[in-house]
Amino acid sequence: MGSIAKIKTMNDQTYDINPIQTVEYAGSSDEYTISIMKPNTYYRVTNVKKLTISAFGSGDSGFCNNYMLEVKFNGGSTLSLPSNANRKWANGIQPTSLEDGGVYQISIINDLGVLIKLN
């Protein structure tokens, strides 16, 4: 698979940007588990009380690997991610204070996570 662009980091590393491979609609249930979240795959999970991501899959060498998730909670708001002491969240917003009925997008690249509430 070819890249669509290149990015250069502040420490002069260059990465190809890998296009999003697939969009997966997980459907609806009270609880949903993603055993291994693949990089460069957009996950959309709707109407869940609890979402668990057991592990992040290994990325492609030389590519900027993005772990992307959209989740809509209904009747609960529990998100469980694999622990990582090195992971930092933009603006200090942690995915531990989510709201029932909320729609969120999460993106994690190089252990930097961004959480956005859409509604």
For the stretch 6-18, pLDDT in tens is 666 667 777 666 6
Q: Which two tokens stand for residue 94?
A: 């942690």
92: three-class secondary structure by DSSP? helix
Spell out, as residue ranges, where the chain has pLDDT lower than 70: 1-10, 15-28, 85
Q: Which pLDDT value is given to residue 20?
A: 64
Residue with tokens 């989510």: 98
Give the residue numbers spanning the domain of 11: 5-117
CB of 87 closer than 8 Å to CB of 108: yes
For the whole prediction, is pTM greater than 0.95? no
The number of folded domains in the chain is 1
* Cα–Cα separations (whole angstroms), residue 53 to 7, 68, 80: 28, 12, 6
What is the per-residue pLDDT for 106? 92
